[in-house]
Amino acid sequence: MAEPGSALKRTPLHALHVSLGARMVPFAGYEMPVQYRAGILNEHLHTRKSAGLFDVSHMGQAFLHGSDPARALELLTPADLAGLREGQMRYGLLLNAEGGIRDDFMVARLPGRPWLYLVVNAATKDSDFTFIACRLNDAITIEPQADRALLALQGPKAESVLSRHAEGAAPQTFLKVVEMTVAGASAIVSRSGYTGEDGFEISLAAGDAEYVARKLLAEPEVLPVGLGARDTLRLEAGLCLYGHDIDETTSPIEADLAWTIGKRRKMARDFPAAERIMGELMSGPRRKRVGLMLKDKTPAREGAELVDGAGAPAGRVTSGGFGPSAGAPIAMAYVAAEHAADGTELAAMVRGQARAAVVTPLPFVPHHYVRKSG
């Protein structure tokens, strides 16, 4: 959220959002569309069955230059970035000295380019870029790309839609990235997103964003989708929202993100708070992020306390709401390790009432990433 009295920033697609009847709200210092005329439920379900277009231009984009930027960035993350091949993208965690998560990010090595492409969260981008810059050696520089926009085309028909406007081969599988032309505009295109569906993220010059967005929205399969449905989609997919499900008080192991730690990094233990994190990996954390399914129709929202059968505190909800595709109220929460097994019965305190909940495997809705071509 913006500081009181500060002006909200606008993305290059602000005028388009207004023309489409979007309801605009403050988010991460920006004025962003929470929904359009179709409404959050319809936008969510349409993305699951067809294709939705999201404006994520508020995210922080940067290029990391130098002789070996991957090795340099590894000082701040347990991800294996040196092993990142050309045309690959990877999810990683930016850690503080205690092993807490400062942010999560995507990083890519573009074919034929000596630099890395980095995407971080909107609310933390300025502090992230400063944090990274202050910890790089003199041979490495970070170049924020404030003049770039970012679109996310998500859903099972996203590939078909993109193919009508693409010059050059689009990424064929999940977490591949290329430079190509989309509707006449030069773009960095990755097969990625935060909905659990197949889809693409398209980074391009701010001046090209509205034209490209309008071309994609003109396709019959595509609806504009706002922050509301983006949140319900990522919740059903079991994906963390920074500042809610992960923050500087949570470790990768507590967050059930041990898979982000590269095998080589585990062996070398050369990342921040490695001893703490590897200790949690070997012995188990004291608390763990889990999925919850509520047994009645009342959602448990962020901050709801969880209790066990005896009424003793068991944890707290970090994200929650109704899952349109799951067909039930769902949530993610941190619970004490003894309550983290699938099938554990708990209760969420909602407006003073205990609502029955059960620990449920994540994701709530299966992912539909394309992992093999053909």
Do 218 and 294 fall within a single domain?
no
Confirm whether 343 is domain-assigned: yes
- CATH number for 315: 2.40.30.110
Confirm whether 98 is domain-assigned: no
Confirm whether 40 is domain-assigned: yes
Angle CA(93)–CA(96)–CA(100) in degrees, nearest 5? 70
Confirm whether 87 is domain-assigned: no
Do 44 and 181 fall within a single domain?
yes
Do 45 and 171 fall within a single domain?
yes
Do 152 and 232 fall within a single domain?
yes
pLDDT tens for each residue of the chain, 374 residues long: 444 546 999 999 999 999 999 999 999 999 999 999 999 999 999 999 999 999 999 999 999 999 999 999 999 999 999 999 999 999 999 999 999 999 999 999 999 999 999 999 999 999 999 999 999 888 899 999 999 999 999 999 999 999 999 999 999 999 999 999 999 999 999 999 999 999 999 999 999 999 999 999 999 999 999 999 999 999 999 999 999 999 999 999 999 999 999 999 999 999 999 999 999 999 999 999 999 999 999 999 999 999 999 999 999 999 999 999 999 999 999 999 999 999 999 999 999 999 999 999 999 999 999 998 65
Confirm whether 333 is domain-assigned: yes
Do 167 and 51 fall within a single domain?
yes
Number of domains in the chain: 2
Confirm whether 371 is domain-assigned: no
In the prediction, which pLDDT does 296 show? Answer: 92
| Preceding peptide of 363 cis, ω within 30° | yes
Do 193 and 300 fall within a single domain?
no
pTM here is: 0.96
DSSP string for 146-170: TTEEEEEEESTTHHHHHHTTEESPP
Confirm whether 345 is domain-assigned: yes
- DSSP three-state, residue 230: helix
End-of-domain residue from the set 216, 236, 256: 236
> 206 is in which domain, residue-wise?
14-57+147-236
